[in-house]
Amino acid sequence: MTLSYPLIAGLLFGLYFSLVGIGLNLVFGVMRIVNLAHGDFLMLGAFVAFGVYTVMGLDPLVGVPIAFVLFWIAGLLFYWLLVPRLQRARDPEMLSFILFFGFSQVIEAITIIIFGTSERSIPSRELAASLGQLWARLFGGDADSGPFVILGESFPASWVIAAAVSIIAIGLVYLYLYRTRLGTLTRAVMSRRDEAVATGINVDRVSAAAFGIGLGLAAVAGVFAPFMFGSFTPAFGVDATVTAFVVVVLGSLGNPLGTALGGIVYGVCYMLVQTYLSSWADLLPYVLLIAILLLRPSGLLGRRARIA
Amino acid sequence: MPDTVRHYLLIAVPLLAVMALLPFGYNNHLLLFNFVIFFILAQGVNVIYGFTGYLPFGYVGFFGAGAYGFAVMVMHLNTPAWIAVLAAGLIAVLLGLLLTPLLRLSGAYFSIANLAAALAVLHLIANPALESITKGPYGVALSGTFNPRLAYNAALLILALTLGIVVFLKNSNFGLSLQAVREDPFSAAMAGINVVKMRVIAWLASALVAGLAGGTFAWYVSVFYPDNVFSADFSIFAIVFALFGGVATICGPLIGVIVLYGIYNMIGFTTPQYFQLIYGLLIMVLVLFLPAGLVSLATRRGWHVP
């Protein structure tokens, strides 16, 4: 096997991992809240894709806007329910860790009670099948997209689509943060919360928006989870949370481009280890996480250290 | 009578006596053993989280390392069980020493790194490439040392040690300094406290008791897989029990274990997802409305809770 396969597969997975991490990054950056339920929203996003495909009989890609809007609204609700009360506590960062752990347990338990513990999957070719048909009708050619060929190696079309959606999503987050008024306020809250309050920024409104977007992005990443990981269960939220953390810590907090870089570094490392040292691949995310936390706690693109 | 002795006589000794006598009147010995294990682990979390503010989300790493330390000693060196239990404690302390750099991280970073460390140890031990040493993912069977009665008594001894540590922390200048460090490390350092040394000692003490507990667990059950002894449930239960009762007290974690683990055993076994739902909701309510645990109901009224 040549080196180009793990490198390109790593890049595709890496872009997707960036999408997995970016919502977590936004929420932590703005609110100093550790959303341990992040992976569970990903899992719920996977259920949205599953529902769109099996119940409504539509292309799972339709799940992307549905999941985003649904969880954006849910995020606003949960924000007002949980966060202001939490921020009044003595040590919100630590307590948020525990609070959202409880939340993650509740989500997982309710999902199991409703859907059971069985594994679910969606046939890989169904993703964006409608786009393929549209393409065929407009320009002629084969409706069945088949595997993508890049540099002589073939990859599942679903990987390429997930990576493309991830690039678009990260670009939109970048535009939101750097080209809109609310985004500018968001960055102000990220860099100095107390000064932002002092200048009259409505921190709660900014934070609620960021929380909604964070959950929405997690759900969008979840739509692709059945294709990237083969299948999903209600219990897969925990692993997804750890992965998201690795990606966020690898990049740096409060910097969407950092998360993109972190995701790519992680994805490429993951694919390289999987290809050449497969029995050690499980160890990689954890060792990488500890190493980066100890050696470069501010992340690859970070400026400030955050040591006690 | 100094407070240290009084607290030990009034809280630790009755608890130990009850746990020592219960096996004669109650048949589910495994359940009693699990209670003792969770008393130890909840107090271990109390030592590190209650007194220093570091939340060890990967606390089970020490427990699992201890269990495997025990297994390796028995399988490869044929040592008697009690030596293997001591070795289990030693392994956990060594792992703790290896992980001391994590104490440089603050807040959630420490918790995440600690979780990652526990998972890394799990994947290292469960790696098929190390099958000749740890039996990899296939699990170990230690029929030679199987003796649940002795293992139960050993667990009681470790509980006695753990309670001794907590009583000491609660009543000594050392414990007070630790709490000062937790509240404000800079001021504590200004007041002449050796911040790093204090944290490391508390960290290693909590690693030691978890490792010893893991060793006796391996001794008691004698057949286990990596996923059993590294189950995240151990960390999570221990943390939730300690928080539920109230950390930085002697009684809090004990009350937490009795109430929550009691509830768990009433409803948890038949329908685990309902218990998961209840304890998830309980954690959320607790954090939002009662962040200092059950004992804060009493301390708010001005009653002193040891």
Q: Complex ipTM, two decimals?
A: 0.80
* Nearest-10 Cα torsion for A15, A18, A20, A21: 170
* Burial grade of B84 (CB within 10 A; 0-12, 13-18, 19 or more): buried
Is the CB of A98 less than 8 angstroms away from the CB of B120?
no
Alpha-carbon distance A231 to nearest alpha carbon in chain B (angstroms): 21
Q: E strands of chain A, at which residues?
A: 148-150, 153-155
How large a percentage of chain B has pLDDT more than 70? 99
| pLDDT at residue number A307 | 38
| pLDDT at residue number A308 | 37
* Nearest-10 Cα torsion for B42, B202, B286, A93: -140
Cβ-based contacts of A297 with chain B (< 8 Å)? 105, 109
- Residue B268 is given by DSSP the state I
CA B283 – CA A191 distance, rounded (Å)? 30
Cβ-based contacts of B120 with chain A (< 8 Å)? 283, 286-287, 290
- Output the six-digit token pair for A181: 């008024």
| pLDDT at residue number A192 | 84
Instruction: Write the residue in A90, A93, A280 that is nearest to B107 by C-beta.
Output: A93
Cα dist from B51 to B171, B185, B201, B206, whole Å: 12, 12, 11, 11
| Maximal C-alpha separation, chain A | 64
Cα dist from B81 to B67, B77, B84, B86, whole Å: 12, 11, 5, 9
Is the CB of A95 less than 8 angstroms away from the CB of B243?
no
CA A209 – CA A129 distance, rounded (Å)? 33
* Burial grade of B233 (CB within 10 A; 0-12, 13-18, 19 or more): exposed
CA A127 – CA A103 distance, rounded (Å)? 30
Instruction: Write the residue in B101, B107, B288 that is nearest to A85 by C-beta.
Output: B288
* pLDDT band (50, 70, 90) for residue B1: low
Residue B207 above 70 pLDDT?
yes
CA B43 – CA B271 distance, rounded (Å)? 28
What would the pLDDT profile of B44-71 be if each residue is shown by its tens digit? 999 999 999 898 989 999 999 999 999 9
Minimal CA–CA distance to A49: which of A184, A136, A161, A144? A161
Alpha-carbon distance B88 to nearest alpha carbon in chain A (angstroms): 23
| pLDDT at residue number B282 | 84
Asked whether the beta carbons of B230 and B61 are under 8 A apart, the reply is yes
| pLDDT at residue number A87 | 80
For range B276-291, the mean pLDDT:
85
Number of other CB atoms surrounding residue B25 within 10 Å: 6
Which candidate in B104, B112, B132 is best for mutational testing of the A interface (most A CBs within 10 A)? Answer: B112
* pLDDT band (50, 70, 90) for residue B21: very high
| pLDDT at residue number B130 | 84
Which residue of chain B comes nearest to A285, CA vs CA? B116
| pLDDT at residue number A136 | 67
Asked whether the beta carbons of A20 and A245 are under 8 A apart, the reply is no
Minimal CA–CA distance to A295: which of B59, B115, B104? B104
- What pTM does this model have? 0.83
pLDDT in tens for each of the 308 residues of chain A? 577 888 888 899 999 999 999 999 898 888 888 888 999 999 999 999 999 888 887 888 888 999 999 999 999 999 999 888 888 777 777 788 888 988 998 999 999 999 888 888 888 777 766 766 766 666 655 555 566 677 767 778 888 888 999 999 999 999 999 999 999 999 888 888 888 889 999 989 999 999 999 999 999 999 999 888 888 888 888 778 878 888 887 777 667 678 888 899 888 888 888 888 777 777 877 888 788 777 776 655 554 444 33
Which candidate in A33, A250, A293 is best for mutational testing of the B interface (most B CBs within 10 A)? Answer: A293
